[in-house]
Structure 1
Amino acid sequence: MSYPMRVAPVDLESLTGRQEVVRVKMGPYGESGTSAMMRTFLNYPEFARSLGRIGTRVTLTSDLPPRLAALASARTAWLCGSEYLWAHVHAQHPGLGGTELSGMDRHVVEAIDELHHTHHLSDEKWYRIGRLGPNALMDLITTYGLFVSLAAAVNSMGVQPEDGLARWGDQAPVGTERDLSASPRELPKRVFEADYAHLSPRQIEQANRMGRRGKPSTSKLQKAMINYPDFLQALAPFGKRAIDDTSLPPRVWQLACMRTVWLCDSEYLWSQHRKACLKLGVTDEDLAGVAEGPDSPLLKDFDRVVVSTVDEMFFHNRISDDNWHRFDRFGAEGVTDLVLVYGLYVLQSCVARNFGTTLEEGSTGYLPELDRFREAVRNG
Structure 2
Amino acid sequence: MNPQYPTRVPPVDLDGLTGRQEAVRVKMGPYGEAGTSTMMRTFLNYPEFARSLGRIGTRVTLTSDLPPRLAALASARTAWACGSEYLWAHVHAQSPGITETELSGIEQHVVEAIDELHHTHYLSDEKWYRISLLGPNAVMDLITTYGFFVSLAAAVNSMGVQPEDGLTGWGALSPAPERNLAASPRRVPKRVFEADYADLSPRQIEQANRMGRRGKPSTSKLQKAMINYPEFLQALSPFGKRAIDDTCLPSRVWQIACMRTVWLCDSEYLWSQHRKACLKLGVTDQDLTGVAAGPGSRLLTGFDEVVVRTVDEMFFHNRISDENWLQFDRFGTEGVTDLILVYGLYVLQSCVARNFGTTLEEGSIGYLPALGRFRKGIGNG
TM-score range, shorter chain: over 0.9
Q: Secondary structure at the match of 1:113?
A: helix
Structure 2 CA distance, aligned partners of 1:61 and 1:238?
Answer: 17
Q: Is the 8 A contact 1:253 1:338 kept in 2?
A: yes
Q: Secondary structure at the match of 2:377?
A: helix
Structure 1 CA distance, aligned partners of 2:205 and 2:316?
Answer: 39
- The aligned counterpart of 2:223 is 222
Q: Is the 8 A contact 1:266 1:353 kept in 2?
A: yes
Aligned AA (1:252): V
Query: C-alpha deviations, 1:123-174, integer Å up to 9, x for none?
Result: 0000000000000000000000000000000000000000000111243433
- The aligned counterpart of 2:366 is 365
Q: Is the 8 A contact 1:63 1:139 kept in 2?
A: yes
Structure 1 CA distance, aligned partners of 2:225 and 2:380?
Answer: 31
Structure 1 CA distance, aligned partners of 2:274 and 2:108?
Answer: 36
- The aligned counterpart of 2:271 is 270
RMSD of aligned residue pairs (Cα, Å): 0.9
Query: Are 1:134 and 2:136 counterparts?
Result: yes
- The aligned counterpart of 1:40 is 42
Q: Is the 8 A contact 1:74 1:89 kept in 2?
A: yes
Aligned AA (2:274): H
Name which of 160, 163, 166 aligns with 2:162.
160
Query: C-alpha deviations, 1:167-206, integer Å up to 9, x for none?
Result: 112434333x222111111101000000000000000000
- The aligned counterpart of 2:84 is 82
- The aligned counterpart of 1:307 is 308
Name which of 94, 98, 110 aligns with 2:96.
94
- The aligned counterpart of 2:176 is 174
Deviation at 1:67, TM superposition (A): 0.2
Query: C-alpha deviations, 1:40-68, integer Å up to 9, x for none?
Result: 00000000000000000000000000000
Structure 2 CA distance, aligned partners of 1:214 and 1:327?
Answer: 32
Aligned AA (1:60): L
Query: C-alpha deviations, 1:44-97, integer Å up to 9, x for none?
Result: 000000000000000000000000000000000000000000000000000212
Alignment of 1:1-380 (within 5 A): 2-175=4-177, 177-377=178-378
Structure 1: tracts of 5 or more residues without a match: none
Q: Is the 8 A contact 1:255 1:303 kept in 2?
A: yes
Structure 1 CA distance, aligned partners of 2:332 and 2:380?
Answer: 37
Q: Is the 8 A contact 2:272 2:367 kept in 1?
A: yes
Structure 1 CA distance, aligned partners of 2:380 and 2:55?
Answer: 37
Q: Is the 8 A contact 1:183 1:378 kept in 2?
A: no
Structure 2 CA distance, aligned partners of 1:172 and 1:161?
Answer: 18
Structure 1 CA distance, aligned partners of 2:147 and 2:164?
Answer: 24
Aligned AA (1:75): R
Aligned AA (2:77): R
Aligned AA (2:92): H
Q: Is the 8 A contact 2:248 2:331 kept in 1?
A: yes
Structure 1 CA distance, aligned partners of 2:313 and 2:151?
Answer: 13
Structure 1 CA distance, aligned partners of 2:370 and 2:34?
Answer: 55
Structure 2 CA distance, aligned partners of 1:325 and 1:35?
Answer: 25
Q: Is the 8 A contact 2:189 2:357 kept in 1?
A: yes
Give every structure 1 segment of 4 or more consecutive aligned residues whose post-TM-superposition deviation is greater than 4 Å.
none
Q: Is the 8 A contact 2:116 2:122 kept in 1?
A: yes
Q: Secondary structure at the match of 1:101?
A: coil
Q: Secondary structure at the match of 2:187?
A: coil
**Identity %, equivalent residues:** 84
TM-score relative to the length of structure 2:
0.98
Structure 1 CA distance, aligned partners of 2:120 and 2:314?
Answer: 16
Structure 2 CA distance, aligned partners of 1:133 and 1:60?
Answer: 15
Structure 1 CA distance, aligned partners of 2:218 and 2:171?
Answer: 53
Number of residue pairs matched? 379
Structure 2 CA distance, aligned partners of 1:307 and 1:217?
Answer: 32
Structure 1 CA distance, aligned partners of 2:226 and 2:274?
Answer: 18
Q: Secondary structure at the match of 1:197?
A: coil
Query: C-alpha deviations, 1:240-279, integer Å up to 9, x for none?
Result: 0000000000000000000000000000000000000000
Aligned AA (2:41): R
Q: Secondary structure at the match of 2:151?
A: helix
TM-score relative to the length of structure 1:
0.98
Structure 1 CA distance, aligned partners of 2:21 and 2:11?
Answer: 12
Deviation at 1:341, TM superposition (A): 0.1
Q: Which moved more, 1:164-173 or 1:257-266?
A: 164-173
Structure 1 CA distance, aligned partners of 2:88 and 2:94?
Answer: 10
Q: Is the 8 A contact 2:272 2:364 kept in 1?
A: yes
